[in-house]
Amino acid sequence: MQEESAVEKPSPDPAVISAGLKAIRKRRLILWFVILIYIPAIWLVLEKTHSDRATGLAFAIWLVMLIVAAFWSALIKCPRCGNLYHINGPTLFYYRRCLHCGLRLNADRKTR
């Protein structure tokens, strides 16, 4: 018989998990905000300037903001397992759970 040499990691402190999940939720909220401001921002620039050039510039600025927000929210680590929360291998999925350990996004909130 062979003994298992795998040592289990102690589970992180609930306060650490709660802080980590709060940071993940904040980054996801910022990403959603950037996505949702697209139509009003483009409409506002077009109404105020009546310029295709200004609208194109506004689109370029929004696109840079979107790329930054997407990378910023995707490259955050899970507070429980330490792997990237939304990335597993080459795939990126914005599920509401860790793609490695299954930690739910609202695991620190009390169920009602």
pLDDT digits (tens, 9 = 90+) for 68-100: 999 999 999 999 999 999 999 898 999 999 999
Cα dihedral 49, 52, 55, 61 sign? negative
Among 9, 22, 28, residue whose Cα is nearest residue 100: 9
The token pair at 34 is: 């950037």
The token pair at 20 is: 């980590």
pLDDT-derived band of residue 5, with 50, 70 and 90 as boundaries? very low
Pairing, β 91-92 against β 87-88: antiparallel
Q: What is the pLDDT of residues 8-49, one digit of tens each?
A: 566 678 899 999 999 999 999 999 999 999 999 999 999 999
DSSP code string of 51-64: -HHHHHHHHHHHHH
Domain-by-domain residue ranges, the chain?
14-92
Residue owning tokens 């996801």: 28
- Radius of gyration of the chain from its Cα atoms, rounded to whole angstroms: 20
